[in-house]
Amino acid sequence: MDALDIMANLQHVFPYYQAIFSADEHCVIGYEVLGRYQSGEEIVSLGPFFQDETIPEEFRLEVDEVVTTKAFEHFLSIDDDTALIFINRDANLLMLDRAESFLQMLLQYQAKGLSLERIVLEINEHHFKGDFNQLSHLLTYIRTYGIKIAVDNIGEHSSNLERIGLLAPDILKIDLRELRKTSINYAYQDVLYSISLLARKIGATLLYEDIEASFQLQYAWRNGGRYYQGYYLAEPSPYLLERDVLKDRLRQECHHFIQQEKKKLQTLYNISEQFQQRVAALLAKYKKAANFNELLSCLADELSDVCFRIYICDEDGFQQSANIFKRNNAWEVQPQYYMKNWSWRPYFLENIIRMRSRKRGILSDLYADIETGETIRTYSYPIDKHHYLFIDLSYSYLFEQDAHY
């Protein structure tokens, strides 16, 4: 696609719209405006044109303005005055005049009746080459007009969470294409989980994009996604959709997700209850053990079918026993772990307080074991007011119990 051909035929440049759906109402809440070009009988995306840095900046800015103004005219011509309008802008080009031309265009359409509170400015932090502090200040200024800020393509590359936090966007757009390629890559899913935690900390809404399959939609639903976008839901189109076009379908899919999640949670609850009874009975059986190491040796023999490591800590996280560790189907004592402190681990002290107040054991979420790299869960149990038993459950056991995801 030749840039000069596009510039000579701007009448063939026009917007397409890709719908964005909400998790709470299952309806269309907005559209991302995408550039298209009529090349003979073919309609081609202008994405490569906008991303090609060899094309003069003024060319890309002019084509961007053509797409945006045509989109604004279209939105003003319809009855719906609530749909959000997602506008992509290259942050490097935006900084050339500190967004003055962009804001002037918006103010012209505000005078025509377009609420600026409907505008979502999308930028890609990966491609920005300037001073991030200056960009952050500019985005803060843009927000004073009621415009929302979205950072897109998060998850496509190794995202810099510190830079994203500095920009403090209203919306984080998480790219799920890699999830389709590596659906069993837990490390990648952990990265996305970290991004979702960041969103919660900075008060940003999660929008999962590039959803191309049902399991990606379920992942987005399960991991805090309020907004969804992708070919699985709606392809880009020259037309806007009815607000409730997918309402029934999304409700049905959501109901299916809910049923699956409830089944999973029930499974985890049942496992926790089984361990509650089993461990309580074993502790009563071996209450006369001479010391903690002897107690753990007895427990290891009884729990050999479910776990690979057992140890005891006090309420401050100091280990009060050796590790009893299973290697090659045989248990071994690891005395070097005595008095190591684990209070630095996420949720450790929180779980101690929960166990102490409820006088019940806790089954952890899935995580990767530091030493073995295996995906595991830990069952923790209060032995008395000051000591807590930790049982690391093997992946093979979790898989058998359908508790491995």
Q: What per-residue confidence (pLDDT) applies to 185?
A: 60
What does the alpha-carbon distance between residue 394 and residue 371 come to, in Å, rounded to a whole number?
13
CATH classification code of 260-400: 3.30.450.20
Q: Tokens 């509170």 belong to which residue?
A: 117
> CA quadruple 381, 383, 386, 391: dihedral positive or negative?
negative
Evaluate if residue 375 carries a pLDDT over 80.
yes
Residue 44: which region, alpha, beta or left (left: phi > 0; alpha: psi -120 to 50)?
Answer: beta
pTM (two decimals): 0.88
What does the alpha-carbon distance between residue 226 and residue 203 come to, in Å, rounded to a whole number?
12
Using one digit for the tens of pLDDT, what is the confidence trace for 42-92? 999 999 999 999 999 999 999 999 999 999 999 999 988 899 999 999 999
What does the DSSP assignment read for 299-346? HHHHTTTTEEEEEEEETTSBB-S-EEEEETTEEEEEGGGTT-B-TTST
Mean pLDDT of the chain: 93
Count of CA atoms in the C-beta half-sphere (13 A) of 123: 28
Using one digit for the tens of pLDDT, what is the confidence trace for 114-173? 999 999 999 988 788 889 899 999 999 999 999 999 999 876 655 577 788 888 899 999
Evaluate if residue 182 carries a pLDDT over 90.
no
Using one digit for the tens of pLDDT, what is the confidence trace for 250-293? 999 999 999 999 999 999 999 999 999 999 999 999 999 999 99
Q: What per-residue confidence (pLDDT) applies to 306?
A: 95
What does the alpha-carbon distance between residue 364 and residue 268 come to, in Å, rounded to a whole number?
9
Q: How many residues does the chain have?
A: 405
What does the alpha-carbon distance between residue 194 and residue 200 come to, in Å, rounded to a whole number?
10
Report which of 188, 251, 263 is spatially closest to residue 219, judged by C-alpha positions. Answer: 188
What does the alpha-carbon distance between residue 24 and residue 364 come to, in Å, rounded to a whole number?
28
Please count the other Cβ atoms lying within 10 Å of the Cβ belonging to residue 163.
15
Using one digit for the tens of pLDDT, what is the confidence trace for 118-135? 999 999 887 888 898 999
What does the alpha-carbon distance between residue 342 and residue 335 come to, in Å, rounded to a whole number?
16
What does the alpha-carbon distance between residue 306 and residue 395 come to, in Å, rounded to a whole number?
9
Using one digit for the tens of pLDDT, what is the confidence trace for 224-260? 999 999 999 999 999 999 999 999 999 999 999 999 9
Mean pLDDT of 201-214: 94
Query: Please, are residues 311 and 390 in contact by the beta-carbon 8 Å criterion?
Result: yes
Q: Which residues contact 2 (CB under 8 A, 6 or more apart)?
A: none
Using one digit for the tens of pLDDT, what is the confidence trace for 346-361? 889 999 999 999 999 9
> CA quadruple 198, 204, 206, 209: dihedral positive or negative?
negative
- Identify the band that residue 183 occupies on the pLDDT scale cut at 50, 70 and 90: very low
CATH classification code of 3-232: 3.20.20.450
Count of CA atoms in the C-beta half-sphere (13 A) of 294: 7
What does the DSSP assignment read for 171-235? EEEEE-HHHHH-TT-HHHHHHHHHHHHHHHHHTPEEEEE---SHHHHHHHHHTTEEEE-STTT--
Write out the two tokens for 142: 């843009």
Return the domain boundaries, the chain.
3-232, 260-400
DSSP 290: S
- Helix 247-285 to helix 214-222 angle (10° resolution) is 60
| Residues pairing with 311 in the sheet | 390
Report which of 392, 363, 391 is spatially closest to residue 376, judged by C-alpha positions. Answer: 392
- Is 87 in a helix, a strand, or coil? strand
What does the alpha-carbon distance between residue 68 and residue 118 come to, in Å, rounded to a whole number?
14
Q: What per-residue confidence (pLDDT) applies to 181?
A: 66
